[in-house]
Structure 1
Amino acid sequence: MQVLPAVENKVAQHELQYTILPAQVDSTVADEMERITRKVGEQITQIGLFTVEFFLTNEGNLYVKRLSPGPHQSADVYTTATTTSQYTLHMRAVCGWPVAEVRVMDGAVMKPLRPEQLGAVSVQIQIKPDWHWRFFPEGSHLYGELTVLGPGQGN
């Protein structure tokens, strides 16, 4: 079992606004999140990726929000900022193949792109060649995702 570095999600009106890697929490909170995730992982029999989501109150209380089997949208940030993607990890685990240790190469922010942002994306893609753009097929709920790397654990 491997626990990936925690990410922080900003959600508004039940929609993901952005994901930050690594999560901007103090080390005691990060340690407790990892401890709980390991404990959950030891108790479930699922093979492959799963997500443990938490709520963190302003007072510093930590609550488990939900467990989700399989890939999760916010984990797409790993594709650009780490040595692998959540999809590769999941497939390797399900197939019973060895899974490499995930290393964070850089900090990152990942933002889902909505169809109404097409104009802004068209401009930014021309002037931001170092940004990482991922576009989805027509008919998808989202237009794609943007990941921007920054100072992280790998630097």
Structure 2
Amino acid sequence: MTTLETPGPTVGVVGGGQLGRMLAEAASPLGVDLIVLDPTPDCPAATVARDQIVADFDDEDGIRELADRSDVLTFEIELADQTVLERVEAETGTPVHPKPATLETIHDKLVQKRELADAGVPVPPFRGVENADDIRDAIDDYGAPVMLKARTGGYDGRGNVPVESKDDADAALESVAGPAMVESFVEFEREVSVIAVNGVDDVATFPLGENVHVDEILRETVVPARSSEAVERRALAVAEDVLSVMDGRGVYGIELFETTDGDVLLNEIAPRPHNSGHWTIEGAQSSQFEQHVRAVLGWPLGSTELRSPTALANLLADVEESRDAQLRNVDRVLETPGAHLHWYGKREARPGRKMGHVTVSGRDENTAVDELLETARDLEDVVTFRD
């Protein structure tokens, strides 16, 4: 294989899904090339990245090749193997950001919660569970319902099971099928998130976003969040505390609960660009993807200021069985003022799979997010591929 010489740096990315695709789109104007590693030939990022290495996320030979061809490694999926990344970093000298140790923390939700709680980050009451009796004990202590979570492997709500009563404990634990933890159920006013960036010597946070989940899957985000200024200040402070625990440069998606009494509790962390930050492409001075590229390379961070209020709606495949993907009614998005379509290039539409998203940005800072969200919902309804 011939290696092309380029004037700018190359970032190697473990994972070539939609996040890798949008990273490549953001890197190109900066003179940065991306090479992605992904087991799926012609993955979504392949059409915009410089090259793809077809290999599994834990394939050491593939990751070593990626390191040899890159100035820095990063990842867009938590399935990256921290042990392999640590070994490749040590043996090749190619730095990895965020650091593999952060992946080790993130991979196990119980470890994650313990480390954050020990650092003073506010989290819901939680405990590890070994058997169904542990869940029943948690219901005695926390009240019903409680949230049972798989400690590893959960994504887009998979592995999260609400347990309504003690009678449901055995079935819930069986459905998780592996090491688990349980959390007190949080009575929240809204779910919010902060996209935060660890740079070389500085930290940056984007404005607070408000998220709407359906069946534990993120469906919508609006920015600014419909929260008070006090809640936003608290959320941004919690996000900065979270970054102090994370090791390595890059973007972190930090999901939070705004409780009914105005407190802020941490839900989960993703050590990578996050779905709830896709609005930044149109809605902020610099996107989360550009910020991630800047951060992992050790470059100065960009401005995270809000450009205009923005609403986002994810485009999920509304199908009962897998089938070829199809995009429809694109003209409806293109003719809508302030609307933007992002299609992820996935060939197969599977039930509930994220196929793209639309954003709608306001004309000025006074545009109501409720109005933008209504428009985004209308566009989602006409564009989404369904049976």
| TM-score, normalised via structure 2 length | 0.37
Matched, 1:64 2:250: no
Deviation at 1:127, TM superposition (A): 4.1
SS at match of 1:38: helix
Using CA pairs below 8 Å that are at least 6 residues apart, which structure has the higher relative contact order?
1
Match of 1:150 in 2: 362
Check 1:2–1:71 CA distance in 2 against 1; reply closer, same or farther (3 A cut). same
Q: Given that residues 111 and 146 in structure 1 are in contact (C-alpha distance below 8 angstroms), is that contact kept between their aligned partners in structure 2? A: yes
Match of 1:25 in 2: 227
Check 1:70–1:126 CA distance in 2 against 1; reply closer, same or farther (3 A cut). closer
Q: Distance in 2 between matches of 1:68 and 1:11?
A: 16
Matched, 1:104 2:312: no
Q: Distance in 2 between matches of 1:4 and 1:21?
A: 10
Amino acid at match of 2:345: P
Cα deviation digits, residues 47-87 of structure 1 (max 9, x gap) = 10112211123333321101210110110000011111111
Identity %: 22
Worse-matched range after superposition: 56-65 or 11-20? 56-65
Find 1:40's aligned residue among 235, 242, 250: 242
Superposition RMSD on alpha carbons, in Å? 2.4
Q: Distance in 1 between matches of 2:333 and 2:229?
A: 36
Match of 1:78 in 2: 280
| TM-score, normalised via structure 1 length | 0.87
Q: How many residues align?
A: 155
Deviation at 1:153, TM superposition (A): 4.0
Unmatched 5+ stretches in structure 2: 1-202, 320-325, 368-387
Q: Distance in 1 between matches of 2:279 and 2:251?
A: 15
Q: Distance in 2 between matches of 1:101 and 1:38?
A: 17
Deviation at 1:27, TM superposition (A): 0.9
Deviation at 1:15, TM superposition (A): 1.3
Q: Given that residues 10 and 19 in structure 1 are in contact (C-alpha distance below 8 angstroms), is that contact kept between their aligned partners in structure 2? A: yes
SS at match of 2:230: helix
Worse-matched range after superposition: 63-72 or 34-43? 34-43
Match of 2:341 in 1: 133
Q: Distance in 2 between matches of 1:5 and 1:91?
A: 19
